[in-house]
């Protein structure tokens, strides 16, 4: 804070505290005519009538205590302009102290789990529970509290993985994030008609209702253009994160219009890297939790 702003803040604080003290003392000197004491002031609201009585002593002392508290607070803690307070307290310092206490308490536990391979942690309920709590802090914002995701956010409880669901890949995904990009293809595959043809073929890959004539035309285009990422059979390629189009699991929507929109406009998606948000030990536990969601369901671990 600049010196000018500091002086401005100090002046405001002093004027407010002084003003409150003056207002309190000035009203204490006001004398009430004994003949009017207890009489109505004429103010009435919702059946509550104001009487002409002095302020109760306990209420007056409550005001005095708030003024004294404010003065003591600005002496002890920062807030009085650039004055840091005699205690030297800062929010950053408190945060660092709390982090240090947490690391001292949980660091050995994290370190022990970090040495244990993720598949072996599946039977350790405490480890999975800890990973689940870390997951709930950040990951649930996108993937949901139950990790089932939603439109544009992958379901982590099934066995459908864009980049692979083995422990090492999950750790890599959490640590460094992922960037998915499908470019728009309308101009490449023949405009609107080409988009519709390829859409029908994509629908046919998962056994859905489709226009067979258009699908046959779309197949040729798909093999020529789209198979570079999605493979000739449409099963995708986990090395580059291209989805499997044959299982009827859709990240960005599987309706006919959704597929057409993806082909016309392309899709860009991103999962942020968590390398600066979590320690390697914490990422290890989150990965164990994520791996457990589908591994046990499908007989893993």
Q: DSSP secondary-structure letter at 54?
A: P
* Inter-residue contact 106 to 282 (CB < 8 Å): no
Q: Which of these ranges, 22-36, 143-157, 228-242, has the smallest mean pLDDT?
A: 22-36
pLDDT in tens, 146-167: 999 999 999 999 989 999 999 9
Its pTM stands at 0.71
pLDDT mean over 201-218: 96
The 8 Å CB, 24+ separation contacts for 153-160 are 153/251, 154/251, 155/249, 156/290, 156/293, 156/294, 157/293, 157/294, 157/297, 158/249, 158/294, 159/294, 159/297, 159/298, 160/244, 160/247, 160/249
103 pLDDT higher than 90: no
- DSSP, collapsed to helix, strand or coil, labels residue 43 as strand
pLDDT in tens, 239-294: 999 999 999 899 999 999 999 999 999 999 999 999 999 999 999 999 999 999 98
Burial of 4 per CB tally in 10 Å (0-12, 13-18, 19+): exposed
Residue extents of the structural domains in the chain: 3-76, 105-177+272-295, 180-271
Neighbour count for residue 13 (Cβ, 10 Å): 16
Cα separation, 66 vs 135, whole angstroms: 43
Nearest to 151 by CA among 272, 267, 238, 233: 267
131 pLDDT higher than 80: yes
pLDDT mean over 104-115: 90
- Asked if the 180-271 domain carries CATH number 3.30.390.10, the reply is no
212 pLDDT higher than 70: yes
pLDDT in tens, 40-74: 777 888 888 887 777 788 888 999 999 999 999 99
Q: DSSP secondary-structure letter at 159?
A: S
Q: What is the CATH number of domain 105-177+272-295?
A: 1.10.760.10
Average pLDDT across the chain, whole number: 91
pLDDT mean over 119-145: 94
Residue 84's pLDDT band (boundaries 50, 70, 90)?
Answer: very high
pLDDT mean over 83-87: 92
Give residue 301's pLDDT: 44
pLDDT mean over 207-217: 95
Residue 121's pLDDT band (boundaries 50, 70, 90)?
Answer: very high
Q: Which of these ranges, 1-5, 143-147, 197-201, has the smallest mean pLDDT?
A: 1-5
Q: Which helix (H) or strand (E) holds 208?
A: none
């Amino acid at each position: 804070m600049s010196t000018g702003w500091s002086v401005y803040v100090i002046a405001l604080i002093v004027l407010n505290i002084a003003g409150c003290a003056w207002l309190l003392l000035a009203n204490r000197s006001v004398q009430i005519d004994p003949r009017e004491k207890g009489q109505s002031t004429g103010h009435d609201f919702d059946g509550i009538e104001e009487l002409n009585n002095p302020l109760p002593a306990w209420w007056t002392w409550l005001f005095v205590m708030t003024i004294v508290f404010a003065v003591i607070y600005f002496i002890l803690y920062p807030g009085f302009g650039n004055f840091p307070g005699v205690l030297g307290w800062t929010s950053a310092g408190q945060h660092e102290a709390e982090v240090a206490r947490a690391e001292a308490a949980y660091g050995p536990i994290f370190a022990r789990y970090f040495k244990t391979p993720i598949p072996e942690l599946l039977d350790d309920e405490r480890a999975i529970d800890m990973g689940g709590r870390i997951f709930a802090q950040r990951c649930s914002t996108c993937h949901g509290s139950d990790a089932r995701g939603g439109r544009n956010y992958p379901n982590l409880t099934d066995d459908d993985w864009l980049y692979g669901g083995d422990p090492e890949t999950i750790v890599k995904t959490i640590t460094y994030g992922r960037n998915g990009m499908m470019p728009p293809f309308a101009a490449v595959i023949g405009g609107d008609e080409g988009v519709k043809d390829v859409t029908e073929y994509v629908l046919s890959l998962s056994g859905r209702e489709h226009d067979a004539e258009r699908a046959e035309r779309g197949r040729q285009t798909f093999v020529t253009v789209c198979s570079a990422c999605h493979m000739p059979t449409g099963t995708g390629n986990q090395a580059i994160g291209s989805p499997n189009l044959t299982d009827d699991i859709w990240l960005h929507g599987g309706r006919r219009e959704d597929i057409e929109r993806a082909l016309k406009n392309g899709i860009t998606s991103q999962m942020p890297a968590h390398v600066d948000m979590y320690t390697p030990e914490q990422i290890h536990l989150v990965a164990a939790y994520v791996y457990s969601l589908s591994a046990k369901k499908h007989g893993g671990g």
